[in-house]
Structure 1
Amino acid sequence: MGVEVGASFAATVDGELVVDLWGGYADAARTRPWTRDTIVNVFSTTKAMTALCAHMLVDRGLLDLDAPVARYWPEFAQNGKRALPVHYLLSHRAGLAAIRQPLPTEAFYDWDRMVGALAAETPWWE
């Protein structure tokens, strides 16, 4: 058995919720039931959707994978990232493995704070 003891899944079709499932536990000790509103990190589950959306933008002529990220997000040019191409972000070669400074949990729900922290980050490698 894996380490996951709970999960949820939701799907919408044309803006209408058609599947909304959850079950298991929210903690490894199995003392807190997983509820509809249990909040968890999704980590890498967004990679496929990000790649799909990026390539749809490429297909529409709205994104150039070889262009610097700073063309689309000028604040990103800080700290040695001015020429970093979009495809480096999509292929995890940008040297941006994490945010160095510790952040409180609530920071992850603050769009402006996270965008600022990501833009200010210095690559860990080149």
Structure 2
Amino acid sequence: MPKALPVVDMSRPVCCDPVAARAISDEDALHVALRLKSLADPARVKLLSLLLTSPDGAECTCDLATAVGLSESTVSHHLGQLRRAGLTESERRGMNVYHRVRRESLAALCFVLDPNCCG
């Protein structure tokens, strides 16, 4: 039976010193690793790319499913993983759900990995 990871509130951007600044604590390492784990899937990276390049800034699950060639339920699962990691947010509009990237969360994750990347 696989070991369950601790529950971590990932609704806010990751917030700790850059990993190169000092030895990172176990808790901070877990926060960073769980966010990176949510990106460790080609479909999720593709979905993030589509959301980041969307002219409207938000895309419907049905349109994303068509774009990546997956079922809406599979895309919803992947988007749920990104949302739980705090990297996206969702909004219901009638029968559809629209998703957008939380850019501040991506920027915070980039900063933690390399403080010189976003300057």
Smaller-chain TM-score range?
under 0.3
So what's the TM-score if we normalise by structure 2?
Answer: 0.22
Structure with larger RCO (C-alpha < 8 A, sep 6+): 2
| Bigger helix fraction | 2
Larger Rg: 1
